[in-house]
Amino acid sequence: MSDTKEGLRVVGAPAPGDYALNDAALPPASPHVVNSLMVVYRRRWTVVTAFVLATAGATVYTFSQPRLYEARTRLLIETENPNVVNFKAVIDEDQTKAEYYQTQYNIIQSRAIGRRALDELKLWNTPPFGGTAPADSPFSLRRVIALVHTTNAGPPPPPPDETALQSRAVDAFLARLDVTPVRNSRLVDIKYRLDDPALAQKIVNAVAHAYIEQTMEFKFTASKQAGDWLEERLAEQRKVVEQAEARLQAYREEHDAIVPAEDRQNIVVQKLADLNTALTRAKTERIQKQSAYDQIRNARDVPGSVDTFPLILTNSFIQQQKSQLSELQREYAQLSEKLGDKHPEIIKVKSAVQISQAKLSGEISKVVDSVKTDYLAAVAQERSLTAALEQQKTEALVMNRKAIEYGVLERDAKSSRQIYESLMQRAKETGVSAELKTSNISVIDRAETPRTPVEPRVQYMLTLGGCGAFLFALCLAFFFEHFDNRIKTPEEIQTHLRLASLGLVPAVRLKGSISPSLYKRAPGNFAEALRTIRTNVLFALPEEAARCILVTSTAPGEGKSVIASNLAMSLAHSGARVLLVDGDMRKPRGHELLGGPQEPGLSNVIVGETKLADAVRRTPIPSLWLLAAGKTPPNPAELLGSERFRDLLLSLQTRFDWIIIDSAPIMAVADASVMAHRATGVLFVVGSEMTSRHAAQKAVEQLTHCRARIIGAVLNRVALDRNRYYYSHYYSREYQAYYRSERTAS
């Protein structure tokens, strides 16, 4: 042993704070089905009570509900009327739109249908729509909903065409009406629920009849309104047609339009095309003649060029004159060689040559003049055709303007006549369709008086109530378990306190004894639990000359004194020299558990009133001694924290193998705190279902601050008999039977 400034610490003991187990060494806390079953078993009375109460409430609610009967009628709703005539009616539903059927379903549930059915059956003053209706059951869901709605929003205002009484009657009537379409068909079921089966049957048939009648009235009204409107439009359109035809006739008379405008326009266009063709030919001819005139006019200025002109070459007279002239010139040349210039023959031939030349020149001049004349005639023809074409264009423009005006008037008259004829045809069809009494809605199955009620569904509601009650009971049990933070199992000690669990001790009650004792009348499982704790304590502490264990708890009443005394008995039974020190000077119990007086004791020895040998007494248990608490001092914490107590403890460790100190609760007073670091180890006692996790954690923190070495915790006062299944994996019935047989044999 060695002394330090901070007090006495056993050599070889771990440093303060080493009491806690490594987090990795603790088993992971994971939810499991078995744990859930244990919670249910532990809270079984809560579960049973909640289940019984909830089931009883569901049963009372089910049998308190009024019996409702459901009458049903089935309708066939076609999207178009029967094809009696081959023209369309005024109302033509679109077969491709699903909104049509949704609209029909809403019409069936409309207030108008409700009023018609109430009028037909005269139910305005009949319960439950009017008059004095029987009060709903206090457990009625309808009454609760109505009360909440009235409280929060107040009664809704009635529609403008209804009184307040009528509005309430219609609301009550429609609240029981249901429209259910049959899937993948054009059928729809109209259902009505009421406590009177005969009245329900009448109502559902009346709703179907009112719906069919309203549909037919709606179509008749729409057809009549359309017919009246068509008659008004027809009279107006007749006047429009007369005015349009009068304007067309006046235009014809004004412009002498006996020939249709289209034919006259065609004649003008044909003339215009002919003139244009003639002008083109005249232009071509003028160009050709102008070219010939220019060529021959230019050739006259060049000698010999005229002879090559085509008109000259093709003129037989000119060619004859040229031949005669050539003969005469040849003859003149021959005579000139023989005769003189004044010879009569020469003069005669010379005169003949001049005459021939004059004739040739005159003929050529005639050809040139004819070309010029043809050219001038072509120019005049072109000018004449151009003027005629321009005049024809002017006439065509005027004709186009007249044709446009005429076409506008003619189209106006024609379109007005077509509109008038269409209106007349539609008016006749509308008149016929208005007289047809056909409907696209027909009744397939009329409602019959229901024989069995549909509500309440007793078996279904009781089953549902039982399942709901069971779930409610389970939820309530887990709710209480969640908010119950008391430590109940060794796993919670390991999880929340981070301490090793050295065992659990069952709760026992013995007649005629203050508390259980290992060698008297304690059950076998109690004794075996103490032996398990003793074994775990032996392995938790190193072998030393003397081992000092401080036993404490969070609060009073957790059984720390019983654990301390019985642990001391168990260690003594193993053959070791054991001293039980009653360190709880405020409420000592060691002398009561092991027998003997309270004084002299520990307090007397510390203050020097009594010698140690006189205070330590033998007990009936072999190898077990007791140092009682002694006289209750006014300052127990100061005595236990003094040097005299430290010296006393060192002296006792030299005489005994084990020293078990029963101290006061750690959170109640400071006595355990001042003794904790002087002990070899601290055994922390937790009362099952007595100590909250928060308080136990605070107690462990307090011991940590005192530099105490906590070797583990013991779960005490475990109610094995009351929660047998809950602790079945710690103590089963077979174990208890084995303990009883063992005690009987011993």
CATH code assigned to 490-745: 3.40.50.300
Q: pLDDT digit string (tens) for 191-210?
A: 998 888 999 899 999 999 99
Answer yes or no: is pLDDT of 73 > 90: yes
- The string of DSSP codes covering 538-597 is HHHS---S-EEEEEEESSTTS-HHHHHHHHHHHHHHTT--EEEEE--SSS--HHHHH-S-
Task: Give the Cα separation of 508 and 517 in Å (integer).
Answer: 10
When mean pLDDT is compared across 320-324, 417-421, 579-583, the lowest value belongs to 320-324
Q: What is the pLDDT of residues 573-613, one digit of tens each?
A: 888 899 998 888 888 888 778 777 878 888 888 888 888 88
Residues 463-506: tens digit of each pLDDT: 888 898 888 888 887 877 777 778 878 888 888 888 888 888 88
Overall average pLDDT of the 549-576 stretch: 87
Residue with tokens 């055994």: 683
Q: What pLDDT sits at residue 192? A: 92
pLDDT tens for residues 17-40?
343 333 333 444 445 676 777 777
82: alpha, beta or left? (left if phi > 0; alpha if psi -120 to 50): beta
User: Quick one: pLDDT at residue 308?
Assistant: 59
pLDDT at 264 over 70: no
Q: In the prediction, which pLDDT does 518 show?
A: 52
Give the pLDDT score at 746.
42
Of the candidates 330, 359, 335, the one whose C-alpha atom is nearest the C-alpha of residue 347 is 335
Domain range list for the chain: 40-64+458-482, 261-435, 490-745
Query: Does residue 576 or residue 302 have the better pLDDT?
Result: 576
| Cα 178 from chain centroid (whole Å) | 27
Read off the pLDDT band of 63 (50, 70, 90): confident
- Inform me whether the pLDDT recorded for 305 exceeds 60: no
Residue 449 forms beta bridges with which residues?
none
C-alpha torsion 267→271→276→282, nearest 10: 160
Query: Among 513, 540, 550, which Cα is nearest to 677's?
Result: 550
What backbone phi and psi angles, to 5 degrees, belong to 463?
A: -65, -45
Residue 5 has pLDDT above 60, yes or no: no
Taking all residues of the chain, what is their mean pLDDT, rounded to a whole number?
Answer: 76
pLDDT in tens, 365-393: 777 777 778 778 888 887 888 887 777 77
Reading phi first (left if > 0) and then psi (alpha if -120 to 50, else beta), residue 675 is in alpha
Closest to 691 in 3D by CA, of 674, 707, 667: 667
Asked whether 271 and 391 are in contact (CB, 8 A), the reply is no
pLDDT at 523: 63
Query: How far is 494 from 486, CA to CA, in rounded Å?
Result: 14
pLDDT of residue 328: 75
* Of the candidates 559, 589, 573, the residue with the CA atom closest to the CA atom of residue 581: 589
Q: Please list, in sequence order, all residues whose beta carbon lies within 8 angstroms of the beta carbon of residue 501, skipping any fewer than 6 positions away.
A: 490, 491, 493, 494, 712, 713, 714, 715
**CA-to-CA dists, residue 213 to 77, 176, 220, angstroms:** 14, 21, 10
CA-CA distance, 341 to 360, in Å (whole number)? 24
Give pLDDT tens digits for 222-234. 777 777 787 788 7
Q: Which residue, 616, 194, 251, is CA-closest to 405?
A: 251
d(CA 400, CA 388): 18
Which pLDDT band, with edges at 50, 70 and 90, does 363 fall under? confident
Percentage of the chain with pLDDT > 90? 5
Specify the pairing of strand 177-181 against strand 187-194: antiparallel
Spatial distance between the Cα atoms of 586 and 561, rounded to a whole number of angstroms = 13
Rounded Cα–Cα distance for residues 120 and 114 (Å): 10
pLDDT of 634-649, one tens digit each? 888 888 888 888 888 8
Decide: helix, strand or coil at residue 193.
strand
The Cα–Cα gap between 716 and 556 comes to 13
Residue pair 286/377 in contact (Cβ under 8 Å)? The answer is no
Instruction: Select from 561, 558, 505, 549 the least CA-distant residue to 528.
Output: 505
Q: Omega before 310 cis (within 30°)?
A: no
Quote the distance between the C-alpha of residue 538 and its chain's center: 64
Distance (Å, whole) CA 147 – CA 223: 47
Contact call for residues 649 and 548 (beta carbons, < 8 A): yes
Cα separation, 269 vs 262, in Å, equals 11
Check if the beta carbon of residue 88 is closer than 8 Å to that of residue 222: no
Local structure of residue 309 (DSSP, 8 states): S
What does the pLDDT read at residue 75? 92
